[in-house]
Amino acid sequence: MLFDFLVPQRIIFGPGCAGRLGAEARVFGKKLLLCMGKGSLQASGMIERVIGPLEAAGLEIVYCGGIPPEPTLESVEESLKIAHEYEVDLVIGVGGGSVLDVAKATAGLYYGDGSVKEYFEGKELKQPGLPWLAVPTTAGSGAEVTKNAVLSDPVSGKKQSIRWDSWLARVAVVDPVLTMTMPRHVTAHSGMDALTHALEAYTSRWAHPMTDGIAFEAVVLICRNLYSAYSKGSEKEARQQVSLGSLMAGIALNNARVGAVHALAHPVGIRYNLSHGLVCAVLLPHIMEFNLTAVAEKYARVAKELHLAEQDTCSADAAERLVHFVRMLQKRLQIPAKLGEVGLQEEDIPGLAEAALPSGSLAANPRKAVYTDLVKILETNL
């Protein structure tokens, strides 16, 4: 057995831990670029939990706001322009996965000698960038503990990752309190994204005992707590458990990769301008059904841990119960059962399937999926 296992240098988790952000950040310099989204943190008042500790630590803050939910190459170019103009020492991303990915790419490419597009298309990165700190405000992407930044190029129509081992955050500060003002639909979509990460990492071709242990626990935590976090947004324990599950799922996917859900989610998301979490949430039970014969024992283990099946239930039956549970969870979270309900068109299916084929995520899927398989999966979504 041989594997690498990558995690950030430090992970701080727990309610209120955002208060430690200033002390952690000042280790890396005095002037920071603070990457944020389009204003939900400010509107909720949660931003003070981040800015307060930074100001108390005497740090100079340069703001980069308005990062869109599905960031483009231009989003990173604009962030880099600000970072270079003010000659910052470090970058902090505060927000959902999109914000964290922009912060990650901005820090990682700070000393790069090419455009963001060149690196997006495969240019080699020759030196590490600035240190960056991750502060997630959603429980879903796991971007605080991954080495990849997912970006879109509207010109080519591609959505893919730029990834380097050196892009891991120096510190991930995961404060579940920051997730408590998430709207219900964001809680649902991001939570199902995290569940997808956990299940796909658990059943990946490149899974190993370390990722299995983390991914399995992540699946259980999310399955047990996501609906409570959705239906009772101020339920502290549920928010904490889903945040922990998302964090663990991110660690697992960073080391074992994800699967066919993500291979299809990128082209579908960019084609119809849909959020990544929503597309993953819709596709997950369809791909689980496709993978069932290859991963029945692993699905069965989860089902039995969740008391969906008795311990003596055969693996095939127990695995089916897990797929049924995910479908029912999807329904309770008011997520569409098929992509056709959110825009999928029959004439687009061949192109979408073709676009998914080169994905590294597809290569990690536990059951080999070829073009005709992807077409059939998408056709069941009409």
* CATH number, domain 183-379: 1.20.1090.10
pLDDT value, residue 3 = 86
Question: Quick count: other Cβ atoms within 10 Å of Cβ 165?
Answer: 10
pLDDT value, residue 20 = 97
CB of 251 closer than 8 Å to CB of 7: yes
Q: CA–CA separation, 222 vs 238, rounded Å?
A: 9
pLDDT value, residue 27 = 97
Which residue ranges of the chain lie beneath pLDDT 70? Answer: none
Length of the chain, in residues: 382
CATH topology of domain 10-178: Rossmann fold (3.40.50)
pLDDT value, residue 285 = 98
Tokens of 363: 């290569």
In degrees rounded to 5, what are phi and psi of residue 80?
A: -65, -40
Q: Which residue has the tokens 């995290």?
A: 194
Tens of pLDDT, residues 261-287: 999 999 999 999 999 999 999 999 999
Beta strands per DSSP E along 123-219: 132-136, 148-153, 158-163, 171-174
Q: Where do the structural domains in the chain lie, given as residue ranges?
A: 10-178, 183-379
Q: CA–CA separation, 270 vs 287, rounded Å?
A: 19
pLDDT value, residue 295 = 98
pLDDT value, residue 40 = 76
pLDDT value, residue 2 = 84
CB of 321 closer than 8 Å to CB of 299: no
Q: CA–CA separation, 141 vs 196, rounded Å?
A: 10
CA angle at 361 for the pair 360 and 362, rounded to the nearest 5°: 90
Regarding pTM above 0.85, the answer is: yes
pLDDT value, residue 157 = 87
Query: Which DSSP symbol is given to 135?
Result: E
CB of 354 closer than 8 Å to CB of 371: yes
